Amino acid sequence: MRLFFALLKKEGLIVLRDMHALIALFVLPCIFIIIMSYALKDVTQSGKNLRCSYHISEDNDALAQDFQKSMQDMEGFSCKKGDFTEQSDIFISIPPKFFENFGSNENSSLSVELRYAPLLNQTALYLFEALLKEKIILLYTKDMGEYAPPFVSNILKPFITKTPSNKKIPNSVEQSVPSWIVFSMFFVLIPLSTVFIVEREQGTLQRLKSMRLPTFSFFAAKTFTYNILNLSQGFVLLFVGIYIIPLFGLGALNIGNFTAVFVLLYSLSFAAVGFALFIATLCKSASQAVIVGGLCNILLGAIGGIMVPKYVMPQLMQQISMISPMSWGFDAFSDIILYEASLFDISPKVLFLLLFGSIMFIISLFIFKKGRQ
């Protein structure tokens, strides 16, 4: 036991002296969280932040004034009077005498000009166009009452009942903070594999072997030390999401059940360290471990919904994402943050992560012992 604690001290000193690794694991993820949360602010808000502006050539007409009021109340779009700018997602231009002559033969050549940004979602564009047509028709039919045609009368009735589903879309903070916590934890691979391979090349492992140190104890010491490092990293990034992100005009992260978050962070860390040990024992050099491990992490992140939100993926891609342990971790975070899930609710995902880490740990032991033989 005394030798085991000496190993823990050795691993701790190595970690604390590697300033480059500490910067990569703590400072860079904090910067990424702030940048990505702010960059995704409008994307994750969907249509609520679509900027719409409109220009009316003659706004003295009563119908034109009613139209302006209805545009300001358009659900899902932020509309205001103004000229076209590069920041406008949608721009409407109402020609002269359009409202005055609407519905008459004189208006046959008049049309509303609708200009939109090239990258605007087509579904949002079709929705906006339908709402715009409905508002213009309602301006002329609100006083017709029982004399209105049946179709127009049906438009005036609330014939659609809206009930929101239980599924929630994360905002930019709820997407960025958990995803970068998960992604950053798996990059513990770089310092762990580098130290592991350097010790193997310099004969440190042989000297420990001569002291009759069990291989399991050597791996357990590394697992314990880097779990502490990963947990510290996770809490720092959560602190950024709760207290630093709001300083940039974004909402604070609500972590919900702290016990569930702590257990999830540990299971994520265990899975990440197990995977790092697997790569370290598999590779022959530190540079090889960094390249192979880095590419594997990027691939797992891309598949697991870390780089691209899972809710925008096709259904097939969402199913494929379940092969990535990063996906299990992020989904568990989403359950806690969005749906206030308890530890029991996320227990299947936690068990998957612990099982993945255990399998990686056992395989690493097997590869290491086989290599020594």
CATH label, 48-156, candidates 3.30.1490.70, 3.40.50.300, 3.40.1710.10, 3.40.47.10: 3.40.1710.10
Name the more confident of 268 and 195.
268
Name the more confident of 219 and 358.
358
pLDDT band at 160 (very low <50, low <70, confident <90, very high): very low
> To the nearest whole percent, how much of the chain has pLDDT over 90?
25
Name the more confident of 240 and 109.
240
**Would you say residue 77 has pLDDT above 80?**
no
DSSP for 160-221, please give it: ------S-----HHHHHHHHHHHHHHHTTHHHHHHHHHHHHHTTHHHHHHHTT--HHHHHHH
Maximum mean pLDDT: which of 121-130, 160-169, 193-202:
193-202
Element containing residue 56 per DSSP (H, E): strand 51-56
Q: What is the pLDDT of residues 283-300, one digit of tens each?
A: 888 888 888 988 999 999
pTM here is 0.72
pLDDT band at 79 (very low <50, low <70, confident <90, very high): confident
Name the more confident of 65 and 190.
190
**Would you say residue 144 has pLDDT above 60?**
no
**Would you say residue 362 has pLDDT above 50?**
yes
Task: Please answer whether residues 275 and 189 qualify as being in contact, where contact means their C-beta atoms are separated by less than 8 angstroms.
Answer: yes
Structure tokens at 87: 């920041």
Question: Residue 246 contacts by C-beta under 8 Å, 6 or more apart in sequence?
Answer: 252
Whole-Å CA distances, 207 to 22, 139, 212, 369: 28, 87, 9, 15
> To the nearest whole percent, how much of the chain has pLDDT over 70?
80
Q: List the 90-94 sheet strands across, edge first.
A: 78-81, 51-56, 90-94, 113-116
DSSP for 71-131, please give it: HHT-TT-EEEE----TT-SEEEEEPTTTTTSTTSGGGTT---EEEE-TTS-HHHHHHHHHH
pLDDT recorded at residue 106: 54
**Would you say residue 194 has pLDDT above 90?**
no
**Would you say residue 205 has pLDDT above 80?**
no
Distance from the Cα of residue 239 to its chain's centroid: 17
Q: What is the pLDDT of residues 89-110, one digit of tens each?
A: 788 888 877 777 765 655 555 6
pLDDT recorded at residue 163: 56
pLDDT recorded at residue 283: 87
**Would you say residue 155 has pLDDT above 90?**
no
Maximum mean pLDDT: which of 148-162, 179-193, 349-363:
349-363
pLDDT band at 259 (very low <50, low <70, confident <90, very high): very high
pLDDT recorded at residue 237: 93
Residue count of the chain: 373
Query: Which of 229-238, 270-279, 300-309, 363-372 has the weakest average pLDDT?
Result: 363-372
pLDDT recorded at residue 274: 94
pLDDT band at 60 (very low <50, low <70, confident <90, very high): low
* 48 DSSP 8-state letter: G
Domain ranges of the chain: 2-42+171-372, 48-156
pLDDT band at 210 (very low <50, low <70, confident <90, very high): low
pLDDT recorded at residue 235: 93
40-53 average pLDDT score? 63
Query: Which of 17-21, 45-49, 128-132 has the weakest average pLDDT?
Result: 45-49
